[in-house]
Chains A and B, each alone.
Chain A
Amino acid sequence: EDKVVQSPLSLVVHEGDTVTLNCSYEVTNFRSLLWYKQEKKAPTFLFMLTSSGIEKKSGRLSSILDKKELFSILNITATQTGDSAVYLCAVLGNEKLTFGTGTRLTIIP
């Protein structure tokens, strides 16, 4: 059965800190890995990673995939209170997404 594990489950940091969120996976027919941000509504798409070692960047967020070790990290630098959310990692295989349970990030002002 496909499996996605995220760590830590929750994280509380002060505004301005840098955080690293982890995602490991075991999926048959791996196509790509996706990161989403979920506040109290729909998951919002952040990144889709298909190739190993190529960093994707969007403002203060960046992510990279290691297909050999089967994991990805999401980095957020200079965190702001608006970054508080649940960050979901999902792996696309056989045309469906398998999600981890998420990392709940809380930024303290």
Chain B
Amino acid sequence: NAGVMQNPRHLVRRRGQEARLRCSPMKGHSHVYWYRQLPEEGLKFMVYLQKENIIDESGMPKERFSAEFPKEGPSILRIQQVVRGDSAAYFCASSPQGNYEQYFGPGTRLTVT
């Protein structure tokens, strides 16, 4: 059973470009969570999705950030018009149901130059 997959593992974008981060949950998991880890800081919750539904996006910045988890395919975290402050590691986690242990992917390290 493959774990949570994320790609790309490293992404470099210039200021103003768009970043797309992908996450495929573990097989059998229909709940996906995105977290951001800034340098020297803890992991911070961004958004919680089930298939085709955003359940909780209380941790997402109001502008430039969006997330989706379509019926087919991976979950996508999209950051438009990236700025230097978006540089961070973005982790995806999945679980088979809500309020259950979450398993993390290897993360995408985004660097904005």
**Which residues on A are within 8 Å of B, measured CB to CB?**
31-32, 34, 36, 41-45, 48, 88, 90, 92, 94-102
Contact = CB atoms under 8 A, between A and B. Distances in A.
B43 A99 contact: yes
A96 B35 CA distance: 10
A102 B41 CA distance: 9
Interface of B: 4, 31, 33, 35, 41-45, 48, 55-56, 59, 91, 93, 98-99, 101-107
16 contacts: A31-B99, A36-B104, A41-B107, A42-B4, A42-B91, A42-B104, A42-B107, A43-B43, A90-B43, A92-B99, A95-B55, A96-B45, A96-B56, A96-B59, A99-B44, A101-B41
A43 B94 CA distance: 12
Nearest to A100: B42
A36 B105 CA distance: 13
Contact of A98 (B45, B56, B102, B105): B45
A42 B103 CA distance: 9
B33 A97 contact: yes
B42 A95 contact: no
A45 B41 CA distance: 19
B26 to A, nearest CB: 12
Given A41-B106, A42-B107, A95 B41 contact: no
A106 to B, nearest CB: 16
